[in-house]
Amino acid sequence: MQKTRSYLMLLALLALVCACSKNDGAGGVASDVAPATIATNQEFEKNLKLDDPQDFEDAKRGFIAKPSGKILAADGSVLTDFDAFNFVQGKAPATVNPSLWRHAILNAQIGLFKVADGIYQLRGFDIANMTLIEGKTGWIVVDTLTAKESAAAALSFARKQLGDHPVSAMIFTHSHADHFGGALGVISADEAAKRGIPIIAPVGFMDEATSENVLVGTAMARRSEYQFGRNLERSPKGMVDTGLGKGVVYGGLGILPPTKQISEVNEDMTVDGVHFIFHNVPGAEAPAELTFNLPEMKAYGGAENLAQTMHNLLPIRGAKARDSLRWSEYMQQALDDNADTEVYFGQHNWPIWGHERIKQFITMHRDVYKYTHDQAVRLMNQGYTPREIADMIKLPKSLDTYFGARGYYGDLRHNLKEVYQFYLGAYDGNPANLNPLPPQESAKRYLELMGGAQKATTAAQAAYDKGDYRWAAELLNQVVFGQPDYHPAQELLARTYEQMGYAAESATWRNSYLTAAQELRNGPPKKGISRAAAIEMMAQTPVERFLEAMAASLNGPAAEGKDLTINLVLSDTKESYVLWIENAVLHFRKAAPVTDANATLTMTKGLFIKTLAGAGSVKDTLMSDDLKVDGSRIDLVRFFSLLDKAPGNFAIVTR
């Protein structure tokens, strides 16, 4: 009995980095568009040539067939509904920025497309594209989408249209999950090994891919719900796009280790009879990334350093700040590499044909990132701070009117702040911000000074009526934080965010504002995003990454004065680690079990991962022969009770 109880507690505590099942997606009563929002959106219509037909021709060019219906998960839940965005057509509704609407229509051109002789793309099966290149014996698959289910659906759709060709090679352009997560939907690990399929990726790919989401994955996943509008209804008052494509498919995530790594600036390689020149371009859009030329086809695969939008220097879900200068340098390199290229295709959005237009496309991206970088630095050196810089800089007209680099995914203002953060950090140098009160504490005091919640909300209403939404949001945020039970402020803030969302040109900003509004009305989701779906990828993640995450979940104050040592033995991989707490810090090292440990926990790596991912039932685990405890069970439970659990559904806009 004691054993069972200890195990139960242990399992509950082990599930520290994960949370549970699907979101709840509660709807809210979204407000109607306000006159000031209409006026803002009309400016976009006036100032941009939204009816320029070129992009529409490109997005439709080479169309072969469009999928319909749904992609389902094994449990029958809907992962993708191909018809969900059928409403995205015609004139922009008043609740969507017309420039974003135009972009959303372009991304709604989904299906199988012929890009050039021997090059096909599947768009709209996931947020990214799958590219198929005809080799001598089969298809060279470039990127495998986010999920096993979406990748399998894309490939089978292509086979139905183009014939039942085998996969002869795989290329992962970079270490972001939307480009490799569906690998096992394309080919099983066994088949890939048996047939000796070359799997090509940039150097560092495996480390970056498997570690990116472990340590701060919970916070990032939660914040990504804002960025991608995961819980929003697909509707004119909800989610219409992400900028890079339609929704991310939250299905089974896996990975295949590369057999060939690209580490040179120019690397010639013949892959299934096709001549590639690969370029290693790390540390810009992703920590590990490659692009490639197909010289005989005069084609350029730009991976994600290029897309039909300004990219993020720092996604609003949170990430390490990216190097805009290096990004711009890669664009110059790309210009040099593509002197006679006739077709560009990326792993998001649609391709571009014609040498001059490709040159213009790359040039615009080069200069948008460099202008952003240089102008932010110029103002930094004059003493301006992030919020000031973000308001001061506009792009020159030549860059600003180029649709292919407008801020549909990234946003200039956020990118300018990123440049500041990249070089100088989040602190603006003003000691008023060196040790300010926490937001809720200062909100309470401001509220008192403003004469209470009602008065502040009245002032915010006046700002709202004038279309001064930024000020209204700032005031109302103080009320919501300072007096969380004052509902009129929550409702007005929800309406304010909705107007900001309706007017936002960036899809990620729109999604964030509208998600915030939804959560002000309904609260945060009941559950965080499950990690169980990523179990096939986690199996490839080095144990050290999980132990780092475990250490970073140690409750410091609770661990003060504790002195515990635990041996962790993974019986199947023959790895063993010694974990110990010292100075309220959890350390680990790979070593043979020590004799003076408080306890020794022996389990298979599979069970260890399964437990971390929260997959499988507690009962199965308990009955499993894969787990054994020696030494003091009480100490083991004491050890695990010091680890905090992060359910991943924390409040962001409410308190």
Evaluate whether 593 touches 577 at the Cβ level (below 8 Å): no
Tell me the closest approach of the beta carbon of residue 331 to Zn ion, in angstroms: 17
Tell me the closest approach of the beta carbon of residue 324 to Zn ion, in angstroms: 18
Tell me the closest approach of the beta carbon of residue 604 to Zn ion, in angstroms: 33
Tell me the closest approach of the beta carbon of residue 244 to Zn ion, in angstroms: 6
Evaluate whether 192 touches 256 at the Cβ level (below 8 Å): yes
Q: In what order do the strands lie in the sheet with 290-294?
A: 267-271, 274-280, 290-294, 299-301, 343-345, 352-353
User: 311 vs 610, which CB is nearer to Zn ion?
Assistant: 311
User: 16 vs 122, which CB is nearer to Zn ion?
Assistant: 122
- List the structure tokens of 285: 């859009």
126 binds Zn ion (CB under 5 A): no
Handedness of CA 11, 12, 17, 20 (dihedral sign): positive
- List the structure tokens of 519: 């959560």
First-to-last alpha carbon distance for the chain, in angstroms, is 41
Tell me the closest approach of the beta carbon of residue 547 to Zn ion, in angstroms: 29
- List the structure tokens of 454: 């009602």
User: 135 vs 282, which CB is nearer to Zn ion?
Assistant: 282
User: 128 vs 167, which CB is nearer to Zn ion?
Assistant: 128
212 binds Zn ion (CB under 5 A): no
**Region of 138-146, 163-171, 178-186, 314-322 interacting with Zn ion (CB under 5 A):** 178-186
Site string for Zn ion, 218-237 (x = CB under 5 A): --------------------
C-alpha Rg value of the chain to the nearest Å: 26
> Among 100, 128, 368, 450, which residue interacts with Zn ion (rule: CB under 5 A)?
128
Upper half-sphere CA count for residue 548 (Cβ side, 13 Å): 12
**Region of 123-131, 260-268, 425-433, 594-602 interacting with Zn ion (CB under 5 A):** 123-131
**Region of 103-111, 173-181, 363-371, 552-560 interacting with Zn ion (CB under 5 A):** 173-181
User: 312 vs 600, which CB is nearer to Zn ion?
Assistant: 312
User: 176 vs 406, which CB is nearer to Zn ion?
Assistant: 176
Q: Is 595 exposed, middle or buried (0-12, 13-18, 19+ CB in 10 A)?
A: exposed
User: 185 vs 386, which CB is nearer to Zn ion?
Assistant: 185
Crossing angle of the two packed helices 439-449 and 469-482, in degrees rounded to 10: 100
User: 208 vs 304, which CB is nearer to Zn ion?
Assistant: 304
171 binds Zn ion (CB under 5 A): no
Strand-pair category, 343-345 with 299-301: parallel
- List the structure tokens of 113: 């497309």
Residue 54, CA distances (Å) to 59, 60, 294, 304, 632 in order: 9, 10, 25, 21, 71
Tell me the closest approach of the beta carbon of residue 110 to Zn ion, in angstroms: 16
Tell me the closest approach of the beta carbon of residue 322 to Zn ion, in angstroms: 13
**Region of 1-9, 15-23, 175-183, 305-313 interacting with Zn ion (CB under 5 A):** 175-183
Which is nearest to 508 in space by CA: 652, 315, 303, 649? 315
> Among 58, 143, 178, 285, which residue interacts with Zn ion (rule: CB under 5 A)?
178
- What is d(CA 105, CA 110) in angstroms, rounded to the nearest whole number? 10
**Region of 26-34, 127-135, 354-362, 619-627 interacting with Zn ion (CB under 5 A):** 127-135
Residues within window 293-322 making contact with Zn ion, judged by CB under 5 A: 304
Tell me the closest approach of the beta carbon of residue 129 to Zn ion, in angstroms: 9
Tell me the closest approach of the beta carbon of residue 417 to Zn ion, in angstroms: 22
Evaluate whether 242 touches 185 at the Cβ level (below 8 Å): no
Tell me the closest approach of the beta carbon of residue 128 to Zn ion, in angstroms: 5
User: 202 vs 386, which CB is nearer to Zn ion?
Assistant: 202
Tell me the closest approach of the beta carbon of residue 313 to Zn ion, in angstroms: 15
User: 305 vs 565, which CB is nearer to Zn ion?
Assistant: 305
Size of the site for Zn ion (CB under 5 A): 4
**Region of 176-184, 219-227, 403-411, 600-608 interacting with Zn ion (CB under 5 A):** 176-184
User: 96 vs 529, which CB is nearer to Zn ion?
Assistant: 529
Q: Closest residue to Zn ion, Cβ-based? A: 178
User: 178 vs 519, which CB is nearer to Zn ion?
Assistant: 178
Evaluate whether 489 touches 446 at the Cβ level (below 8 Å): no
Long-range contacts of 234-237 (CB under 8 A, 24+ apart): 234/81, 234/84, 234/85, 234/87, 235/87, 236/87, 236/93, 236/95, 236/96, 237/30, 237/95, 237/498, 237/502, 237/514
CA 521, distance to chain mean position in Å, is 25
User: 168 vs 305, which CB is nearer to Zn ion?
Assistant: 305
Tell me the closest approach of the beta carbon of residue 455 to Zn ion, in angstroms: 46
- What is d(CA 325, CA 370) in angstroms, rounded to the nearest whole number? 6
- Dihedral pair phi/psi, residue 371, rounded to 5°: -60, -45
- Dihedral pair phi/psi, residue 121, rounded to 5°: -135, 145
User: 348 vs 633, which CB is nearer to Zn ion?
Assistant: 348
Tell me the closest approach of the beta carbon of residue 286 to Zn ion, in angstroms: 8
**Region of 141-149, 177-185, 314-322, 517-525 interacting with Zn ion (CB under 5 A):** 177-185
Residues within window 386-445 making contact with Zn ion, judged by CB under 5 A: none
- What is d(CA 131, CA 226) in angstroms, rounded to the nearest whole number? 28
Q: Which residues would be at the binding site for Zn ion (CB under 5 A)?
A: 128, 176, 178, 304
